[in-house]
Structure 1
Amino acid sequence: MDQGQAIAQAFVAARRAARGLSEYPGPIPATLDQAYAIQDRAIALAGDAVAGWKVGRINPPLDAELGSNRLAGPIFADQVTAADGGPMPVFAEGFAAAEAEFLLRIGAAPDPAKLSYSHDEALALIDAVHVGLEIASSPFPGINDLGPLVTISDFGNNHGLVVGAEVPGWRDLGFVDWPVRLLIDGEEAGAANAATMLDGPVGAAAFLFGCLAARGIALRPGQWISSGAVTGVHPVRVGQAVTALFDDGMTVSCTIDAATPEEDVSEVNDERKSG
């Protein structure tokens, strides 16, 4: 077994068992290609339907070194919910965070052979924008400390998505200037707007379309793009309550729960969907 396959197997096994990994399970990937190759193997091992993709930022100076200012990871269908206020599981022995995000829904599949998209070309493929929360979690507590290549290798550090209401009049893109706040147990953890995020949520979509085409991964109508943390990446603990406020009017919330081993997952998912 090669090292990339062993890393992928270690992460998938830890996620299924809902247990932590005290160390990164192999040599740290040195390039984007190596990191995404591990992610691709882990997706195949997981065998779950992909309902969308998260997009995160790669900060300077690593963006220049790696040749990309963003990264991507899969969001699995059984980890997506519209149950506002319901429980969202994280790895209690690993890393966990909540992020206020704008969620873009793909309306038309991108050309799988097209590697570069303008802002307008990407916007034309979107059919809705919603407010939401990304739940970032990994069995490895040092996932963010070791940099974006490690983040990429474990599904981009994603473990769920809470889909809130649709943004009215989203096509005029006025929502990028909305004030966004994230509260943890009622205390403000961060505040910003999407205009500060590189080239904005649509830029995240343009990046993703090109990134996945280069990896030979086709996108489908109805899949979600979690376009990036507006107010930052905010660590959370089991038992905490998270609320994101958009434009002082739209909210989306969840409670942080402990992930359970895979044999218990079906019961947890049933509770989340009915919540």
Structure 2
Amino acid sequence: MTALVSDLLRARETRAAIADAIELPASLAAAYAVQDEHIGELLARIGGTRIGYKIGATTQAALDALGLARPFHGPILSAAAHASPAHLSRSSFFVAIAETEIGFRFGRDLPPRAAPYDLETVAAAVAEIVPIIEVADSRMRDWQKADARLIVADLGYAGAVVTGAPVRDWRAVDLPSLAVTLEADGREIAKGAGAAVLGNPLACLTGLVNDLSAAGQPVRAGELVSSGTCTPPHPSAMGGHFVARFGPLGTVELTLD
């Protein structure tokens, strides 16, 4: 096991965030190899499987801050996926960053291929949309200043996802213009739209599919992709009762205490 994975797993076990003064992977590709190792070691401890992907750095400002040309991805794990309304312990997370995300669940496989997938082909493979509250999390003490390679190794800051009711008849919804709000304890704390996700969540989804394809990895039927936050990320030091409203896509509820 690499030292970085060992440190990240130890942070989970001891509930003590680690400093970022550690040896970084040499490249983003090396960071994804560390992420794969991290996932394998974590699943050996908690059980379950990877059931999809989360996409991060889905604003131009986030990409610029991290020095990235395109968003990164991390896993969605079955042990960290919950149906709305969900009740989770705040102490299970380090930072607990509440984000509102449009999720896509695939109805058929998209295997790796030489030619890139276009947006319509990817959209045709989507069986349903799922509104999501993601609880992004970091095992790093100085998480806001972490290098992109460290974020990728740290599972892309994956924490947990809370899923609302699936919507199969989603094609009539204009995703970029979809208004989304996040409330905490009855007070609106953030608002945004699907266009916050680099203009269109489906475009981010297509980018992920092509990134995976280029790495020789398929997208499989049944997998869920959380496409990036529609509202500004909200770190929650004290927890609370969160409600995300996605208009015609419904609502998602999460209590953190």
CA RMSD across the alignment: 2.5
2:38 paired residue number:
42
> Matches of 2:189 and 2:207 in 1, distance apart?
28
Range with bigger deviation, 35-44 or 161-170: 161-170
Q: Any idea what SS the aligned residue of 1:51 has?
A: strand
Q: What do residues 170-224 of structure 1 show as CA deviations (whole Å, max 9, x unaligned)?
A: 1134243221111122222211110232141211211111222333433321111
Q: Is the 8 A contact 1:144 1:150 kept in 2?
A: no
**Which residue is equivalent to 1:217?**
217
Three-state SS of the structure 1 residue aligned to 2:143 is coil
The aligned residue for residue 80 of structure 1 is 81
> How many corresponding residue pairs?
252
Distance 1:70 1:153 in 2: 14
Q: Which secondary structure state, in structure 2, belongs to the residue aligned with residue 21 of structure 1?
A: coil
User: In structure 2, do the counterparts of structure 1 residues 218 and 9 end up closer, same or farther at CA, with 3 Å as the change threshold?
Assistant: farther
Instruction: Kindly state the Cα deviation for residue 90 of structure 1 after the two structures are TM-superposed.
Output: 5.6
- Name 1:6's counterpart in structure 2: 3
Whole-Å Cα distance in 2 between the matches of residues 90 and 139 of structure 1?
A: 13
Deviation at 1:239, TM superposition (A): 3.6
Secondary structure of the structure 1 residue equivalent to 2:130:
strand
What pairs up with 1:234-253 in 2 under 5 angstroms?
234-247=234-247, 250-253=250-253
SS at match of 1:165: coil
Change beyond 3 A, Cα 1:115–1:51: farther
Percent identity over the alignment? 28
Secondary structure at the residue paired with 2:96? strand
**1:86 counterpart SS class:** strand
The offset of 1:31, in angstroms, is 3.0
TM-score (normalised: structure 1) = 0.81
Q: Distance in 2 between matches of 1:144 and 1:12?
A: 20
SS at match of 2:32: helix
Residues 32, 90 of structure 1: alpha-carbon distance in 2 compared, 3 angstrom cutoff? farther
Question: Conserved in 2, the CA contact under 8 Å of 1:20 and 1:91?
Answer: no
8 Å Cα contact 2:100-2:230 kept in structure 1: yes
Q: Which residue of 1 aligns with 2:159?
A: 159
Q: TM-score, normalised by structure 2?
A: 0.87
Aligned residues of 1:133 and 1:162 also touching (Cα < 8 A): yes
Q: For 1:197, give the aligned amino acid.
A: V
Whole-Å Cα distance in 1 between the matches of residues 181 and 139 of structure 2?
A: 27
Change (3 A) 1:249 1:109: closer
Moved more, 25-34 or 173-182: 25-34
